[in-house]
């Protein structure tokens, strides 16, 4: 059994793989103060919920955009495996040509998304990750990481609106029935949701034009709001909520070969 861990700024996703099959995955709140011992207790509980034991884990790989949590996951690997887990950064993907001026600055989640998208859908392609930030990762015709775009995440932008608008209520982020709202709540939902959809579509179209990609280039969406955004989007072609976990597995398998 293999454990893939994707540590994001807001949430942590954990996937339990048997071979290439994702048997189970969990989504947890990222806590910057967690220790390796706390993570060990949490892992025991998660595995017990699906009748698995830590002794069945033979490998762990971690993609983290929270540097402060990396030591805790190193400690977790030592407790479970007797050795450190694979901590993914640009050095873990030597086969991925990274065109950024500073390859070390590219987030591990973006690298594993690129690896997974290229293997599953073929280059060129674009990954749209709808998380704390909305990121666009561009994989060129030769499978290279060509760069990307980072924009405020949907929930992040909405949170700023709620906090700074003294008379604006908090609303659920979901697709409203119409663009023109008939109440403050409907108007906010329309602005947040459709504004995000049109921003995604506009940036995807700009990327396709700038890169000279074919019109039918795969555009893969992942992240918590991917399904809702894809339903209204004109450019997203595929939704894969576990793309990042799959990418972590692929990177780990290649590291073993």
pLDDT tens digits for 66-93? 989 999 999 999 988 889 999 999 999 9
Active-site entry in 89, 102, 109, 201 = 109
pTM of the model: 0.91
* Whether the domain at 2-87 and the domain at 91-247 fall into the same CATH topology: yes
At 98-122, the pLDDT tens digits run 999 999 999 999 999 999 999 999 9
Residue 167 has what pLDDT? 58
Q: Average the pLDDT over 130-135 and give the result.
A: 88
CATH for the stretch 2-87: 3.30.420.40
Output the pLDDT for position 14: 96
Computed over every residue of the chain, the mean pLDDT equals 91
Is the Cβ–Cβ distance between 167 and 185 less than 8 Å? Answer: no
Tell me how far apart the alpha carbons of residues 163 and 2 are, in angstroms, rounded to a whole number: 41
| Domain limits, the chain | 2-87, 91-247
Weakest-pLDDT range from 33-42, 44-53, 150-159: 150-159
Question: Is 51 in the active site?
Answer: no
Burial of residue 84, with CB atoms counted within 10 A of its CB: 0-12 exposed, 13-18 middle, 19 or more buried: middle
CATH superfamily of 91-247: ATPase, nucleotide binding domain (3.30.420.40)
Helix (H, G, I), strand (E, B) or coil at 6: strand
CA proximity to 36, closest of 86, 5, 80: 80
């Amino acid at each position: 059994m293999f454990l893939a861990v994707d540590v994001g700024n807001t949430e942590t996703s954990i996937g339990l793989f048997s071979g290439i099959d994702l048997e189970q995955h969990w989504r947890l709140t990222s806590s910057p103060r967690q220790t390796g011992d706390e993570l060990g207790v949490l892992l025991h509980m998660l595995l017990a919920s699906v009748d698995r034991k830590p002794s069945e884990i033979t490998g762990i790989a971690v993609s983290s955009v929270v540097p402060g949590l990396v030591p805790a996951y190193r400690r977790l690997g030592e407790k479970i495996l007797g050795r450190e887990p694979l901590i993914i950064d640009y050095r873990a993907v030597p086969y991925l040509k990274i065109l950024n001026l500073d390859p070390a600055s590219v987030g591990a989640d973006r690298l594993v998304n690129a690896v997974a998208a290229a293997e599953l859908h073929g280059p060129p392609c674009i990954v749209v990750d709808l998380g704390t930030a909305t990121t666009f990762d561009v994989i060129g015709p030769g499978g290279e990481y060509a760069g990307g775009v980072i924009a405020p995440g949907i929930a992040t932008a909405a949170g700023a609106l709620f906090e700074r608008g003294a008379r604006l209520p908090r609303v659920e982020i979901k697709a409203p029935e119409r663009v023109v709202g008939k109440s403050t709540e409907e108007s906010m939902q329309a602005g947040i949701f459709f504004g995000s959809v049109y921003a995604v579509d506009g940036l995807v179209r700009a990327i396709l034009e700038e890169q000279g990609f074919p019109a039918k280039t795969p555009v893969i969406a992942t992240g918590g709001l991917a399904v809702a955004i894809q339903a209204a989007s004109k450019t997203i072609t595929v939704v894969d909520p576990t793309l990042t976990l799959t990418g972590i597995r692929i990177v780990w398998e290649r590291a073993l070969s």
